[in-house]
Copies of this chain bind each other. A is one copy, B any other.
């Protein structure tokens, strides 16, 4: 990923000197306390590990993964082929010590201390899960040098800030395969997250096998769902990494796929089929306000809360699912139910009257309470999206806050006042395609909320990846490495806020994630390789490395926001192989370029100038090779305007460096290029503008939702 700039640095005689500055560590999330000392622990073929503590199969497995991965990283053949519980020599070079084996759960002790001296590494934790968190830190300390791999001598003491550090993946809109979920779990373990929340059902699909209600997967999906065996393995896999799994079945709205299987559950009769949330045909040529009004006024597929058979069904179903998902939580959704379907059904209206429920909100609270009581029978604590909250719901329900910022504090305060607890997802919606720093600076505890209240009421937060425009071919590109920034926000101290330093570490985290967990780079390269039919990827990598997706819901709502334009329909089989599907949400190349521009504008030195010119010339010339490839590539022909823009922008940058051209004209041209095309935007325009004006503006503090 850093290829371009390394080449430039080499050509201009500079070398990056990782590991030698004072800020030489690449830990993410940043531990609570780090004391760096002189000295190094060198890894050699004598490196051994001893584990001291009670029996913990999952820690032994984690130690073996660490040992194998360290072998791959360093190329060293270590003396122990694999570690067993009998390898308990406290004199081993790495001594892992813990006193308690625990199941992963919210609030379990995850603290650890790590001491590295030149001859010995000692990792101490209360629990085996704490020791696993410490192993991840230790792996991030491994550093290459001319003479071998080492850990710097260091004393680390660490524990998480929030108890609940989650990632929600929507597997309903587009199915995300079992393998991709496992890779996400590996990545979560690296950044010390502890909750994987699976949005298992929605209008578009029902994604888990039910044996008692098999029509759910048969009629509620396109054949793609997790078998019960896979769920069991997934739970084991997550538990082995100190992560719990929270299943969500979205009720009473967002339930078309369930109604397609069992229509008797519906509030109004219809020929239900798994639906499409953003069916462009339906909303084409309507404006945004009209669409919003439609959403609030038309009856939408909704579970009937007035029939007792509904509760019998969910009692059986929750019982079955509770056997499959052993962790303590069950998410019941309860979002975006406008109540219109209920009001149009006389039987439901009569039911409301009989139960003295004045509004459909009250009826939803009744429904939530009934599901709460069923779930409680199976030892589950329910979670609902913020619409589920109502002063009449039980206090042990957890409320997941998701709506954009306005009124967030007020709602959180009233939830806490009512003694419910909160998980914050407001500001952590990954499907907004905001850069990592936006989520990084999204503090879950507002200054308006008294700290004591916050500590009692705010369990933590969750990054949320809705999958309208994501499938298993690009889920990893979308979620990672951005979620590393969210993980740090939730694990590290509240005052860890240096965006520049976050990015420095995020790029290195991305290398680790791709090496040890995910296939983000692989998936990105596969999309590009198809465009060029296995010819040279370099020109399209150069191009895509400086484009990022349009931010906010501009893409999802494109048919509404720009009526008349043709946009491909999103369906269950969307290929998702266009540039907007492939590009990363943060441009690493753009970030390095920004640093270079900033340095040049500050110092006006020859070395920076030379690097800038080389980079701009490379961008300027990329067009020639791109056009040659386009001859046999239908897709490259489509997006040639993007290639032209990059070249034009680079030409303006070069002219500005030479003091050539009319500044106003240059700025006007750059401004024109800001308009998104193919649902992406050029990520280096502000920096080239800075070369024209001599002034680099700060990055925006926020981006609009539309």
Q: Are B535 and A634 in contact (CB under 8 A)?
A: no
CB pair A574–B536 under 8 Å, yes or no, is no
How far is A82 from B3 in the complex, measured between Cα atoms in Å?
A: 40
Contact A625 to B10, CB < 8 A, known contacts A144-B633, A146-B631: yes
Hey, which chain B residues are within 8 Å of A64, CB to CB? 223
Task: Provide the residues of chain B in CB contact with A78, threshold 8 Å.
Answer: 573
Closest to A1 in B: B534
Cα of A71 to Cα of B179 in the assembled complex, Å: 21
Cβ of A184 to closest chain B Cβ, rounded Å: 15
Which residues of chain B come closer than 8 Å to A577, judged between CB atoms?
Answer: 71-72, 75
Residues on B with beta carbons closer than 8 Å to the beta carbon of A148: 634
Q: Does A635 contact B (CB under 8 A)?
A: yes
Chain B residues with Cβ below 8 Å from A147 are 634
> Is A453 on the interface with B (CB-CB < 8 A)?
no
Given B16, B18, B71, B146, which contacts A573 in the complex, CB threshold below 8 Å?
B71
Smallest CB-CB separation from A574: which chain B residue? B77
Known contacts A2-B536, A575-B71, A575-B76; decide if A634 and B145 are in contact (CB<8 Å): yes
**CB neighbours of A61 from chain B (8 A):** 223
**In the complex, residue of chain B having the shortest beta-carbon distance to the beta carbon of A526:** B515
**Highest count of chain B CB atoms <10 Å: which of A72, A74, A507, A635:** A72
Q: Are B530 and A145 in contact (CB under 8 A)?
A: no
A356 on interface, CB distance cutoff 8 Å: no
- Which residues in B have their C-beta under 8 angstroms from that of A529? 511, 514-515
Q: 1/0 per residue A399-418: CB within 8 Å of B? A: 00000000000000000000
A575 with B6: CB separation less than 8 A: no
Give, as a whole number of angstroms, the nearest-CB distance from A550 to chain B. 19
Q: Is A572 an interface residue (CB 8 A)?
A: yes
**Are B10 and A628 in contact, with the CB atoms below 8 A?**
yes
Copy total for this chain: 2
Question: Are B81 and A535 in contact, with the CB atoms below 8 A?
Answer: no
- Asked whether, in the complex, the Cβ of B508 is within 8 Å of the Cβ of A534, the reply is yes
- Contact, CB under 8 Å: B536 / A634: no
Known: A7-B625, A145-B632. A515 touches B536 (CB 8 A): no
The answer to whether A6 and B72 touch across the interface, beta carbons within 8 angstroms, is: no
Shortest beta-carbon distance from A587 to chain B in Å: 16
Interface residues on A, range: 35 or more
Report A114 CB to chain B, min CB distance, Å.
22
Nearest Cβ distance between residue A14 and chain B, in whole angstroms? 10
Nearest-neighbour CB distance to chain B for A141, whole angstroms, equals 14
In the complex, the chain B residue whose C-beta lies closest to that of A516 is B526
Report A60-91 residues with CB < 8 Å from chain B CB.
Answer: 61, 64, 67-68, 71-78, 80-82
Chain B residues with Cβ under 8 A from A75's Cβ?
530, 575, 577-578, 634-635
A233 at the interface (CB under 8 A from B): yes
Given contacts A82-B223, A229-B233, A569-B77, contact A538 B3 (CB under 8 A): yes
Measured between alpha carbons, how far is A80 from B533 in the docked complex, in Å? 25
Whether A572 and B82, one on each chain, are in contact in the complex, defined by CB atoms closer than 8 angstroms, is: yes
Cβ contacts under 8 Å, A519 to chain B: 519, 522
Q: Tell me the complex Cα distance, A95–B619, Å.
A: 46
Query: Quick check: is A391 within 8 A (CB to CB) of the other chain?
Result: no
Q: Flag whether A389 is at the interface (Cβ < 8 A).
A: no
How many angstroms from the CA of A604 to the CA of B115 in the assembled complex?
67
Find A6's partner among B81, B146, B535 (CB 8 Å cutoff): B535
The complex places the Cα of A530 from the Cα of B71 at a distance, in Å, of 11
8 A-B pairs whose Cβ atoms sit less than 8 Å apart in the complex: A6-B535, A19-B632, A75-B530, A80-B573, A144-B632, A146-B632, A229-B233, A522-B522
A interface with B by C-beta (< 8 Å): 1-4, 6-7, 10, 15-16, 18-19, 61, 64, 67-68, 71-78, 80-82, 144-149, 179, 222-223, 229, 233, 473, 507-508, 511, 514-515, 519, 521-522, 525-526, 529-530, 533-538, 568-569, 571-578, 624-625, 628-635, 637
